């Protein structure tokens, strides 16, 4: 899967005090893939990033004469319903290109969108509105820049990456408390994604060190997470699992295992844990309830690397089995032909599939 410019998602814990366990030692049933061929996934992404309407701009209109057309405000990222979905569907398309027999069918739209001029406009928009898409959209922009490393679009991202670096430097010192809920503003998910992709995108070491320090200051002393409160009715992220996955990235491995025992004690005792139960999705077409489809996939994307950071044993096996169940539940919804999910869900399937360790053939 590591094609041109591809960057690993779900990176290793920092400062490990022992060699990591071999992900190959986690045994899986048949490895799932996207439910439709790569060419079709690329088609979904391309169709969405070029679809102007419906559009949900998070833009404060300040004048009756202001031009608020989506492709005026955002010449690169005007499609896919909202800005962050457009950014991460571009990420999905770029990430899918190496799997295609004829990627040229899709590179044209990327050539038109990811120009230096368009990305300079996007960067200026972010700097003029420091809370816009903070931090979720910022993180996806960094992930997209990293995915474009080594491609014709790499250099165009320099102003956008610089903008996000400046915004992070301004925000992190005053972000006294994290946002812990299960939708876009979740702090742990975004900063974890920044850590996975920031170096490849061109963020400086100082910025990434500041991200690590803020994650430690927010979460290192946490214990007894209220896992029984999850999920909320429109979550597409798990507050507890995104936090655990972020902490995995910033603590030595042995220390992370002890932290996890304090944070989710039910895992070690074998007690029931709601985080491991696949969410019930009563209406796939409802744009809020349908978020729970993404929750299944994002939980899988967190559970696999959390499990891989633990030694062999019942907790690791339990987490891996739960991840497999969540992945199997979420994948069939990726291509439903319904815009409410088609404009975003395949990205989270890609995250989950990328996080799942390889395993020996049976």
Q: What is the pLDDT of residues 6-24, one digit of tens each?
A: 566 765 444 333 333 333 3
The whole-number pLDDT of residue 324 equals 97
The whole-number pLDDT of residue 23 equals 32
Is the pLDDT at 154 greater than 90? The verdict is yes
Confidence band for 204, pLDDT divided at 50, 70 and 90: very high
Rounded distance, CA 217 to CA 174, Å? 12
Is the pLDDT at 27 greater than 50? The verdict is no
The whole-number pLDDT of residue 362 equals 31
Under a CB-based contact definition with an 8 Å cutoff, are residues 159 and 123 in contact? yes
The whole-number pLDDT of residue 19 equals 36
The whole-number pLDDT of residue 335 equals 85
Rounded distance, CA 39 to CA 330, Å? 20
What is the rounded average pLDDT of the residues 305-324?
97
The whole-number pLDDT of residue 126 equals 98
What is the rounded average pLDDT of the residues 97-120?
96
Under a CB-based contact definition with an 8 Å cutoff, are residues 276 and 307 in contact? no
Q: Taking CA 237 as the corner, what is the angle to CA 236 and CA 238, rounded to the nearest 5 degrees? A: 130
| CA nearest to 88, candidates 204, 223, 197 | 197
**Lowest-pLDDT range, 128-137, 149-158, 338-347?**
338-347
What is the rounded average pLDDT of the residues 291-313?
97
* Locus of tokens 């439903």: 336
* Locus of tokens 């057309």: 69
What is the rounded average pLDDT of the residues 287-291?
93
**Lowest-pLDDT range, 32-36, 158-162, 281-285?**
32-36
Report the predicted TM-score, pTM, of the whole model to 2 decimal places.
0.91
Rounded distance, CA 55 to CA 70, Å? 7
């Amino acid at each position: 899967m590591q094609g041109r410019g591809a960057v690993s998602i779900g990176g290793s814990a920092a400062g490990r005090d022992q060699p990591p366990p071999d992900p190959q030692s986690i045994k899986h049933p048949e490895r799932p893939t996207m439910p439709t061929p790569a060419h079709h996934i690329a088609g979904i992404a391309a169709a969405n990033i070029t679809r102007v309407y419906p559009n949900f701009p998070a833009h404060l209109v300040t004048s009756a004469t202001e031009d608020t057309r989506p492709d005026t405000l955002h010449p690169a990222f005007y499609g896919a319903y909202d800005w962050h979905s457009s950014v991460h569907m571009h990420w999905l398309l770029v990430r899918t290109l190496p799997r295609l027999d004829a990627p040229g069918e899709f590179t044209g739209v990327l050539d038109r969108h990811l120009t230096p001029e368009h990305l300079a406009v996007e960067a200026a928009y972010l700097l003029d509105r420091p809370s816009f898409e903070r931090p979720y959209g910022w993180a996806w922009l960094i992930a997209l820049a990293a995915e474009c490393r080594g491609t014709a679009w790499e250099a165009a991202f320099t102003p956008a990456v610089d903008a996000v670096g400046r915004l992070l430097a301004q925000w992190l010192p005053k972000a006294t408390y994290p946002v812990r809920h299960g939708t876009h503003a979740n702090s742990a998910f975004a900063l974890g994604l920044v850590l996975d992709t920031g170096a490849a995108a061109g963020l400086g070491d100082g910025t990434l060190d500041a991200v690590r320090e803020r994650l430690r200051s927010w979460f290192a002393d946490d214990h007894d997470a209220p896992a029984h409160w999850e999920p909320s009715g429109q979550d597409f992220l798990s507050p507890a699992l995104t936090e655990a996955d972020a902490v995995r990235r910033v603590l030595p491995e042995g220390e992370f295992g002890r932290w996890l025992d304090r944070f989710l004690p039910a895992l070690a005792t074998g007690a029931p844990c709601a985080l491991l139960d696949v969410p019930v999705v009563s209406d796939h077409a409802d744009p809020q309830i349908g978020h729970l489809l993404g929750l299944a996939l994002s939980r899988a994307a967190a559970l696999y690397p959390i499990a891989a950071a633990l030694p062999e044993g019942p907790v690791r096996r339990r987490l891996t089995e739960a991840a497999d169940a969540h992945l199997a539940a979420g994948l069939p919804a990726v291509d439903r032909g319904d815009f409410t999910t088609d404009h975003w869900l395949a990205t989270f399937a890609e995250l989950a599939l990328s996080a799942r360790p390889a395993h020996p053939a049976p």
